[in-house]
Structures are given as structure tokens and as C-alpha cells.
Structure 1
Amino acid sequence: LAEGTARDVRNPADHRDLVGTVVEATSEHVSAALSHAVAAAPIWQATPVDARADCLARAADLLEAQMHTLMGLIVREAGKSLPNAVAEIREAIDFLRYYSTQIREEFSNDTHRPLGPVVCISPWNFPLAIFMGQVAAALAAGNTVLAKPAEQTPLIAAQAVRILREAGVPAGAVQLLPGDGETVGAALVADHRTRAVMFTGSTEVARLINKQLSQRLDSEGRPIPLIAETGGQNAMIVDSSALAEQVVADVLQSAFDSAGQRCSALRVLCLQDDVAERTLEMLTGAMKELAIGNPDRLSADFGPVIDVEAKRGIDTHVATMREKGRKVTQMPMADSCGA
């Protein structure tokens, strides 16, 4: 097969920092990977449940042993703070141990039949935890996996796959296909050999995937399953009985942690009139104390958004609010923060 396009992966907090290089998959790679997944499916399906569970448990132990190395990669590639990186690795470990325990207690190869090749499409905001959670669930059930990570965070995904293989998961059972959604993701979803899709990302893309999958059935006449986790608008409603100091701390944590790049992040704050003015005054003061910078520094409360496109979207939203006459409170950026 011809080589795909090589692309630099840079630190979103400092574009001078070259984190690594990724060679993106082509449509030919996608087809070949699906052929490997189909060929490996009977072997992985027939693997005893305890053996599959052992692989996931070993992968959890390897993640734990390599936490410091993985922390550095998550901080540099995804722009996450050190506490966020620790939490992410712990969540990935939890996923592996959870599914390992679940199949030991509840699964049998005689009663639980896998679907076949499963496509896992994961986001950049939790590039290890959600990636590993999707892949571990599919592998635990005896499916072979074709994993397409977010374009922004392929290196973390590559380390996750390396660890799974080191833990004993066969190469044909888990394959990494980095690349963009229009080329790699679309080809994986459209291929008739794909038996299920797990997707975390935008609602718009989830609808497109759902539409594509709805146009075909599997070899036994069943719909192709889609498990999708998408975005939303999250509100906090505060009445006069709430402790203002706690409200402010919770708002800062929910709205700004991970630079606000979580599907669970606070988007709308509703305050009772009686406490609105005081709470907003405290919130504005607390915002002024936040330190934004390179997340490899413990002095930084929050790091960057993932890329220029994300920043452009935020800037456009702020400009739109100002044009509508809305009051906008925006903290000045330090000189060390890139434009």
C-alpha cells in the first residue's frame, strides 16, 4: 500500500514544540484494515472470556505503570493541565478494569455473540479516556476494532493501541487508522463490513453517521448499531439559598476547566434576581485571578483550546454576542499566550 500523508503534530500551547509526526491512513489502508479485522474476528471471538479480560487488566496495569510518560504526552498534544492529565489516565484505567470485571462476571462465549468489526471514532477533548473506553468495550465483547482518533490527537491514541497490543490483544483485533473524518471516518462508516459504530463528537456528524448506517442492514437483516455521545447546552440554576462562594467555585470549575472543552461544561448560568448582582461581582473577580498559560506549568489554571479553528469559533461567538448588544466580560490574555 502507498504511504499516507505525513503531518506534524504540534503542542497547542506552543506551536514551536513539535510533539511528533503522524502518517495518515488512505482509503486503501481502510479497506485493508477491514479485511484484517474480518479475518481476525473468528479468532478474537473464540478467545476465552477470561483471556480477553486478562488482556484488558494487563493494559490497565501498563497504563498505571506508564502514567508519567503518558501525562507528558497528553499535556503536550492535547493542551491539558497536569491534574486533567492524571484524571484522564485514571479514567482510562477505570474503563479497562470495569469491562474486564464485567465480562468475567456476566459474559460467556456461548451466550454473548459479538457483532464483528466495530468502528470507534473518538474526540480530542478526552483523547485517552474516551478512546480507551470505546475500544475496551468493543474488545471485551469479542469484537475486532478499527479505531479512528481525532485528527488533533493521534499520538496519544497510538500509545493506547501499543499498550493494548503489549497487553496481549492481537494486532488484527485492534487497528489504528488516523486521519480526517471526511476521508478515513467516512470510509469506515460506509464500508459494508462495518458491523457497528461508536462515536463521540458533534451532533451534526452523529446525524450524518446515523443517516449513512440507516441505509443498510447486516448479513442477517439487522440494523447497524450506532452508539453516539454528542454535545449539548448545560445550565446551572442558582436560587437565593445557594452559598455564593460555592456557586462561584463550581462555575469556574465547570465552565473553564479543560478550557471549557467538555460536553459537560457549563454553558448557561441562571441566577435568581435577589442574588444575581452579588454573585456576578464575585464571579468576575474570581475570573480575574485565573492564570491561563502553558499547562506544563503548575502555575497555569487552564491551558489553550485545541487549535486555531476552535479559537475562531469562540471569537465569532463573542463577536456575535457583542453585535447583539449583550454585555461581554472578557479577561485580557497574557503576552505568553499565543493568538
Structure 2
Amino acid sequence: MKKGLFVNGAERQAGKNYPLYHPHTDEKLADIAESSKRDMDEAISSAEKAFKNMKALTSRERADILFQSATLLDKRKQEAADIISKEACKPMKSARNEVNRTVQTLRFSAEEAKRLNGEYLSLDAAEGGEGRDAFTIHEPLGVIGAITPFNFPLNLTTHKVGPAVAAGNTVVIKPAEQTPLSSLLLADIFTQAGLPAGAIAVIPGDGPALGEVMINDERVKKISFTGSPEVGRLIKSQAGLKRVTLELGSNAAMYVDQSCANELENIVDKAVAGAFMYNGQVCLSTQRIYVHEELFDLFKQSFVEKTKKVKFGDPSEEDTMVSSLITKKSQQRVLDWIDEAKKGGANVLTGGQSNRNGVLPTVLTNVDRREKISCNEVFGPVVLINKVNDANDAIDNINDSRFGLNAGLFSNNLQQAMKMAHQLEVGQVLINDVPTLRFDHMPYGGVKDSGYGREGVKYAIDEMTELKMISINYER
């Protein structure tokens, strides 16, 4: 099977291709277009021309396109789940969940397209402002450049495309090299739903080369990137006056305090799912768990017992929770970090070994906070559980990180929970939930090295529009 690039409303083949393989089985899935810089330039030109048509659409027309896209995807959800499961090596249950969330993200985008309202300003509040009314409107920026990751190849792409369309922008997608098929499916669905030709493009291929074209082209008004902090920092330094949203790394932490003894098993169930869902290849994966000393031994024992029941296997099988990592390079890195932590005094309670192209679900304790497995983003099925003295000790451990995306805390002490929520240095605090939680309409983004700007449909739209004020002098 050959898959091309998507430009000006249709897919076409490229001059060169690269092979795409299934990360678990090593089966060849397709030959993918190795797009050139010229292809990217053409896509941007096509998107710029289509912007006039997009801007002219009414909010109702944009909403109708988004609602119709959601309907079409819902009809093709098993096809979409199969694509995600194969190219991203995502367990089928998780793949179906991603498709369902994508349908919801499209519907949220459609609803927000109809709510893109400004506000009335009382200019007579200022001296000399008498006899004037004023109001604000939101206008689309133009061409949006979307650089998307492998781990949620459909929903995280839609988190860029949906708000862009809702606001009246056009969008050029540079998907991760491993997961272009989901983006091509999305472009096909949007086109069938009535999106003007050229308003969406998908340009697979080499990230640095194609991304450079996006960043340097003045016709691209905004870059929305999800990926590593190192690449995000580079994009921000080179983007000039372009708008930029960066969704970067994390090593999400959670705390369980001594008031939770009666709910411990339920908390452990949630924490195991949060740590190992999709092989831990989730920005919000529960990577660090801090437990009050009174509950530490019980929590640790239960967590290890439940982890041993987590199934590693082929992602196409319904009961698989953990499978191969996205690349062999990722597998080796995770194994190396585990070995480094062991040499530093950490104890491996279960796992820590390779299987196929993956790593078995791994639990460590007594991990020094300077170890890579603690202070960096693992992006694998690994979690550490450390003992803390109290809430203040937990805050100190959680905040001792260059990342700050999500944090979860479990407590029946409301005063303590609220105090912690204000002191934790993260973008979102989830009380009585694991940090591996995101709803598609909530504001989403981090502090420190975790990001810049916010996603979540309504909040992404704000960053994809220009605010304009219009004043009327009715007493001239």
C-alpha cells in the first residue's frame, strides 16, 4: 500500500517514499510519502489561497462542517481504531477510546464555532468617550502549522485542526513520521464533510526539514506543536513574531495521604491504569507516586500485585494493556534508565525486562530524585513509588522537577488538598484523581518545561484568532 500527501483537497503520490512498520510485529504497513520542502511550500500556498473561502464561511457553516466530520468519523470508528492500533502500536481498547474522544473533540469544536463572541465596551467610561459604542470581534489568523506527535495521532491532531476550522483558519499538518495514516484519514473526512479544497493539508516526512519550512514561511501565522521540550525550545527561538503553542514533556506525579486508607484499593486501580495506559507513552502518564509513610507499605504491595496482572501482548488483542514501544531506540533508552536507577540504589519490585520491542510493566521504589527515571520523562511503562513524611514533603518532591503539566492528589482533608493545589507548580491539579486525566474541553497546558500556551478547544481557539475592536461615534 502506498500513501501520499494530501494537498488541495486530494491525496497524491510523492516522488520518494519511506517504509512504515508495525512497532510490535515489524510487519510493513505501507510506503509513505517522503514529502519535500517544495511539497510543504505548495501546501502552504494552497492553504493561503483557501483562507479567503474559510474566512467567508459563517460560524454556522463552519460548525456544520465540524458536526458532519464528527458524524463521518463515528461511522468509520473501527477503521480509525485499526489504523491507530497498527501505526502507533496502541492497544485496541485505547485506540477505540481515542477515536471516541476525537468525535467528541470535533463536536466541542463545532459548538465553540457558534460561540466565538466578543464583548461590548463602555467607551464613555473614559473622559472624552461620550457618544461612542464599541465592541470586539475575533478574526482568524490565517494558515496554522500543526506539528503533531505519534502517541495520540488522531485526537491530538484534531485538537489543532478542530479549533483552527472553528475559528475560520486553514491548517497544514506535519504528522509524526510513525503515524501519518491517522492524519490522512482526518483530512479525507474533513474534505468529505465540505471543508473547502486547500483548507487542510497533510505533509508526511522528515520533521526537521519540513518544520523548518513552516517556521520560516511568513504565510504561516501560528505554529502549534506537540513534542519534546528540546524541539519546542528550538521552535520558539526561531518563530519570530509567529504565535506559538507548545505542548511538551512531563513526569506527572501524584500523592496519596494518610486519610485515604479506606479507599486504597480503588486508588491503586486508578494509579495502575494511569501508569501503564498505552505503554506509559502519554504526556500525563503517572510516573512518580508519593505515598504517606502510614500507607506506603500497603499501597506498594497492592500496586505490585495489580501490576503483575497487567497483560503485555499484541495491541490488536482486546485485553492487552501494554505492548511494544514506538521504536527499538525508545525501548533501549527505558531499559538503560532502569539499570542506571538500580545502580543508584533503586529497587525493582516487578518488571524491568524487555519483551518483544517493549518493556514489561515496571515498578521501582527508593528512587533518588536525581535519577533520569525520576527527573526526566520516561515515556514508557515505568513508575516509581516513594515514601514521604507528610504533605509538605510531597509538595517538595513533586515540585522538584523541570516539568509542570498535571499533578494528582488523593486526600479526604479538603483544607490540605486545596492548600496543596495552590502550591503545586503545574498547569492542572486533579484532586482525588490520577494526573493521567484529560477531558477534551478543559484548558490544557503546562508550566516550566511542560509547555507554552493552552490547548482545549475553547482555549486553543482564543490563541488562533486576532482580537479586533470596532468603535462607533454616534454623536459626531
* TM-score calculated relative to the size of structure 1: 0.91
Does the residue aligned with 2:114 lie in a helix, a strand or coil? helix
Deviation at 1:332, TM superposition (A): 6.9
The Cα RMSD (Å) is 2.0
**Aligned pair partner of 2:196 in 138, 163, 170:** 170
Which residue of 110, 120, 123 maps to 2:146?
120
Task: Find the structure with the greater CA-based Rg.
Answer: 2
Distance 2:326 2:318 in 1: 19
State the match for 1:278 in structure 2: 298
CA contact (8 A) 2:308 2:350 kept: no
Residue deviations 1:137-183 (CA, integer Å, cap 9, x gap) = 11211111111111110011111111111111123110101112211
Measured against aligned partners, the alpha-carbon deviations of 1:302-333 in whole angstroms (never above 9, x if no partner) come to: 22221112212211211211221221234276
The code of the aligned residue for 1:12 comes to P
Q: Match for 1:144 among 159, 170, 176? A: 170
Q: Does 1:59 align with 2:69?
A: yes
> Residues of 2 paired with 1:141 and 1:302: CA distance?
38
SS for the counterpart of 1:168 is: coil
Equivalent residues in 2 for 1:93-104 (5 A)?
93-104=103-114
The percent identity for this pair of structures is: 28
Determine if the alignment matches structure 1 residue 325 to structure 2 residue 341.
no
The match for 1:240 among 258, 268, 285 is: 258
Q: For the Cα contact (< 8 Å) 1:13–1:304, is it kept in 2?
A: yes
| Pair 306,174 (structure 1): closer, same or farther in 2 beyond 3 Å | same
8 A Cα contact 2:304 2:350, kept in partner: no
The 3-state SS of whatever aligns with 2:220 is coil
More helix by share: 1
2:24 paired residue number:
13
Tell whether 2:243 aligns with 1:229.
Answer: no
1:56 offset after TM fit, Å?
0.9
> Where does residue 267 of structure 1 map in the other structure?
287
Structure 1 runs (4+) deviating above 4 angstroms are 332-335
What does the per-residue CA deviation read over 1:66-95, in whole Å, with 9 as the maximum and x for residues that have no partner?
011111111111111222112111111111
The match for 2:125 is none
The equivalent of 1:31 in structure 2 is: 41
Q: Counterpart in 1 of 2:87? A: 77
Q: Distance in 1 between matches of 2:112 and 2:13?
A: 41
Query: Aligned pair 1:187/2:213, yes or no?
Result: yes
Q: What secondary structure is seen at the aligned counterpart in 2 of 1:111?
A: strand
- 1:35-69 CA distance string (max 9 Å, x none): 11122111211122221211111110000000111
Match of 1:296 in 2: 316
Matching residue of 1:220: none
AA of the residue aligned to 2:185: Q
Q: Give unpaired runs (5+ residues) of structure 2.
A: 1-11, 119-135, 359-476
**Quick one: which amino acid aligns to residue 319 of structure 1?**
D
Whole-Å Cα distance in 1 between the matches of residues 243 and 159 of structure 2?
Answer: 17
How many residue pairs were aligned? 328
**Alignment gaps of 5+ in structure 1:** 215-222
Among residues 28, 47, 57, which one is paired with 2:57 in the alignment? 47
Change (3 A) 1:49 1:206: same
